[in-house]
Chains A and B, each alone.
Chain A
């Protein structure tokens, strides 16, 4: 299987509808309910931070299941990484999170989407708001920013139920300590450990007013999470006077993607 690392051609849509073979290189547990899977993808054309892809699994009897996942890796990372959260009754996620082994192969197509995308050249400030695994495409943006040694001011507000559910917590804390203009803020909605200094409630207007820049700063804003979370956060930002045209949203459903 050939590797896509080092691909230089710009990610174009033409090949995005092609199903490609992807071999698992590494599966790493992120939280009790989520794993990051890194793939070698045959002929991968490269991607932009914020894009997603479709995964297709085929059973021995020919039954196929398809899901969409955000790409967790930055364009500069070379390999394609996904972070998948387990839905107990799901057909696909338990396999990806717990069972798939290095060397196993699945099919994927992408990169998909051009709307929920951020490039260094788009500038900032960059306001990122995530609910649960909605942080995945935003992590790709932050890795893209870091890989380019960008000092574009960036803030990430991430909401999770418990501290153990916060994805990439060590990596994000490390990025925040780099003192290059990135600030990390978190809220825990169900249970906070002793000594927690972050927020302890669902994201609301007051929290966003505290975290966001003034609407006059015209921050590029990306909100990703479950539908109700995204709509509450986006509505609150618009209510605070932020330009709706600068707020990009991506909602994901209870199964983590579409079914065919």
Chain B
């Protein structure tokens, strides 16, 4: 198994994202704070085998979000996302 086998997509984080945002997020558009690429979160790269879940930009691989669960808390780092647009 190599790293490529561990790379999933935003669908794999959909349940966790629903926990954080309380709305369906795979169709939400996220804009990368590093390169400015905008993609549906269902299409971004996701790694679930790190401690926590890591979402990366499919254009430049910048870390968009990390979500780490510890005990009863979710720690969410959104510093890699400049903007999120959610269908209303």
Which chain A residues have a beta carbon within 8 Å of chain B's beta carbons?
13-14, 16-17, 52-54, 68, 109-110, 112-116, 226-228, 231, 248-254, 257-260
Contact = CB atoms under 8 A, between A and B. Distances in A.
A259 B18 contact: no
B15 A54 contact: yes
A253 B22 contact: no
Contact of B42 (A109, A115, A226, A260): A115
Contact of B12 (A109, A231, A251): A251
Nearest to B1: A254
B49 A13 contact: no
Interface SS majority for chain A: mixed
B19 A17 contact: yes
Contact of B22 (A17, A52, A114, A226): A17
18 contacts: A13-B18, A13-B24, A14-B22, A16-B15, A68-B15, A112-B14, A112-B18, A113-B14, A114-B24, A115-B14, A115-B42, A227-B8, A250-B11, A251-B7, A253-B12, A254-B6, A258-B12, A259-B48
B72 interface: no
B38 interface: no
Contacts of B24: 13, 16, 112-114
A127 B2 CA distance: 29
A20 B76 CA distance: 25
Interface in B1-54: 1, 4-16, 18-19, 22-24, 26-27, 40-43, 48-49, 53
A53 B15 CA distance: 7
A88 to B, nearest CB: 14
A56 B43 CA distance: 25
Contacts of A14: 22-23
A249 B6 CA distance: 15
A115 B22 contact: no
A52 B18 CA distance: 13
Nearest to B53: A258
Interface in B29-88: 40-43, 48-49, 53, 69
B4 A116 contact: no
Nearest to B42: A115
Contact of A252 (B8, B27, B40, B69): B8
B62 to A, nearest CB: 19
Contacts of B11: 52, 113, 115-116, 250-251
A259 B8 CA distance: 13
